[in-house]
Amino acid sequence: MDDEPLEEWAARREERRPVSGERRATPLGEEPEQAAHVAPDAPRGIQEWDGHQWTPVGVAADFQAAASETGEDAASRAERVVLPPFSTLPPSPEPWRPTEVFHRR
């Protein structure tokens, strides 16, 4: 197993963490958090990252109103997501070969 040095892991983690003052919208209610297209007319809570936790700062009537409050922050969050390298395929496996020689009669 290849262990990653703690400093590299901490640097990657810090890149993904929200910036202090960043906002996000979360649906209100008892249901678990869902994507925005599931219930676009449902009210949303606006949360702000204070450096340690997400704290509530307001309520929006629907997804459109919440997006206008958090739009710039959502774009900056998306830019921090590390994407896998494309155009590289994993090595192809070796073809299976029987361990015993098989002769057809």
12-71 residue pLDDT tens:
888 888 888 888 888 887 777 777 778 888 889 999 999 889 999 999 998 888 888 887
Q: What is the pLDDT of residue 56?
A: 93
For the segment 83-105, what is each residue's pLDDT rounded down to a tens digit? Answer: 767 777 777 888 887 777 777 87
Q: What residues contact 41, with CB distance under 8 A and at least 6 apart?
A: 62, 63
84 alpha-carbon distance from chain centroid: 13
Cα 55 from Cα 57, distance rounded (Å): 6
Output the pLDDT for position 99: 77
* Average pLDDT in the chain: 81
